[in-house]
Amino acid sequence: MKKLFSTIFIALALMILFVGCGSKEVDKEEVKVEPVNIHVIAPNGTPTLSMVKLFEENPSMGDGVTVTYESIAATDVLASKLTQQEADIAIVPTNLAANMYNKEVPYKLAGSSVWGILYLVSTEEVNGWEDLKGKEISMIGRGLTPDATFRYLLTKNNVEPDKDVSLKYFSGGSELAASFISGKGEYALIPEPLLTKVLMKRKDAKVVLDMQREWSTATGLESYPQASIIVSDDLINNHPEVVDKFLNAYEEGIKWANDNPLEAGKYYENLGIGLKAPLINKAMAGCNIRYVGATDAKESLEAYLNVLFEFNPKLLGGKLPDEGLYLER
């Protein structure tokens, strides 16, 4: 009888053991994490610089989340990738965010991060906008946002574009820089960080007008949101916690870059897309990188988009975007 009880006891113990193991397996199945693959893109230059800490360190965005980063050389390639929805998150010219939204490409603007990078440089003394009358000014972006911004500020300061000043357009920043450095022209509207490179080469030139300060004077707003971060509707709807984590990491990365410009420059140089760490170190302050969420940036965003719309509605896809453009957090 004792032997029988002993056998029954052992059998029961084994059953309990196997049942326990089985429930552990079920628990493992219950906590299995669904993989989330996120592709992030940003144009070369200041937009990539704003995200350089994430590019280099690729911090964790949660269990099962894989993030890949890509820096894009040309804006047309960027627009194509967005149209094809090949990116989940992107840093884009703010007008492109509005343009994509108006074309019903499913992205929302989560915040703005590049607050103007245009500076007028000259070898001559300039005490105000009146001194520009009769001058030829070299610049880039015919019909695009730099053109719209500069023409708006000329007009606000009683200087009539194409009548009081002559605007000479170059196809790109490299061509503009080479021309100005060689001594052709005494006035040029140049973006950072290219500006720092130009001033290092042409020692007799200096910044005579800061477009960001001039915008503030003209509008009463701090500056204009030249570039913004957009997030796909799919990622927002299905993984809101990942979106929050990413945007927080992005904001922290911008603060780090501003506090550590040389290290940010080294990270940028590691990407192999053209700019060296010492130059980034000098240029960082003029790049005006700071993160402002869409809700807080809304007044500035709407003012900027209105100026662009008045200049050329096509820059925004033919109309001003409605409230659905913005991601509420």
Distances (CA, A) of 226 to 56, 84, 274, 289: 24, 23, 22, 10
Residue 248 and residue 165 share a domain: no
What digits encode the pLDDT tens for the residues 260-312?
A: 999 999 999 999 998 999 999 999 999 999 999 999 999 999 999 999 999 99
For the residues 197-216, what does the mean pLDDT come to? 97
Residue 122 and residue 212 share a domain: yes
Residue 298 and residue 150 share a domain: no
Residue 169 and residue 302 share a domain: no
Q: Of 161, 148, 13, 35, nearest to 94 (Cα)?
A: 148
Domain span holding position 150: 118-219
What digits encode the pLDDT tens for the residues 162-195?
A: 999 999 999 999 999 999 999 999 999 999 999 9
Calpha distance 114→225 (Å, rounded): 6
- Cβ atoms 122, 187 nearer than 8 A: yes
Q: Is residue 48 part of a domain?
A: yes
Torsion angle of the four alpha carbons 121, 124, 126, 129, in this order, in degrees rounded to the nearest 10: -70
Which residues share a beta bridge with 193?
none
Percent of the chain topping pLDDT 70: 90
Q: What is the pLDDT of residue 274?
A: 86
Q: Is residue 181 part of a domain?
A: yes
Residue 129 and residue 111 share a domain: no
Q: Is residue 215 part of a domain?
A: yes
Q: Is the pLDDT of residue 25 over 50?
A: no
Helices 145-156 and 294-311: angle between axes, nearest 10 degrees? 80
Residue 148 and residue 204 share a domain: yes
Q: Is the pLDDT of residue 33 over 90?
A: no
CATH number at residue 312: 3.40.190.10
Residue 238 and residue 107 share a domain: yes
Instruction: State both tokens at 144.
Output: 């695009």
For the residues 50-75, what does the mean pLDDT come to? 96
Q: Which residues contact 119 (CB under 8 A, 6 or more apart)?
A: 189, 190, 191, 192, 195, 207, 209, 210, 211, 286
What digits encode the pLDDT tens for the residues 130-170?
A: 999 999 999 999 999 999 999 999 999 999 999 999 999 99
Report the chain's mean pLDDT, rounded to a whole number: 91
Q: What is the pLDDT of residue 329?
A: 83
Residue 265 and residue 211 share a domain: no
| Last residue in a domain, options 187, 219, 251 | 219
**How many structural domains are present in the chain?**
2
Q: Is residue 286 part of a domain?
A: yes
| Last residue in a domain, options 219, 238, 266 | 219
Residue 123 and residue 167 share a domain: yes
Q: Is residue 56 part of a domain?
A: yes
Q: Of 308, 258, 248, 246, nearest to 283 (Cα)?
A: 258
Residue 271 and residue 201 share a domain: no
Q: What is the pLDDT of residue 200?
A: 96
Q: Is the pLDDT of residue 247 over 80?
A: yes
| Last residue in a domain, options 219, 250, 272 | 219
**pLDDT band of 30, cuts 50, 70, 90:** low
Burial (Cβ within 10 Å: 0-12, 13-18, ≥19) of residue 102? middle
Q: Is residue 28 part of a domain?
A: no
- Cβ atoms 189, 139 nearer than 8 A: yes
**pLDDT band of 2, cuts 50, 70, 90:** very low
Q: Is the pLDDT of residue 119 over 60?
A: yes
- Which of 17-21, 92-96, 250-254 shows the lowest mean pLDDT across its residues? 17-21
Residue 315 and residue 280 share a domain: yes
Q: Is residue 10 part of a domain?
A: no
Q: What is the pLDDT of residue 4?
A: 40
Q: Is residue 102 part of a domain?
A: yes
Distances (CA, A) of 228 to 38, 143, 157, 222, 247: 18, 20, 27, 16, 12
Residue 146 and residue 95 share a domain: no
Instruction: Tokens 């820096």: give the residue.
Output: 71
For the residues 321-326, what does the mean pLDDT come to? 97
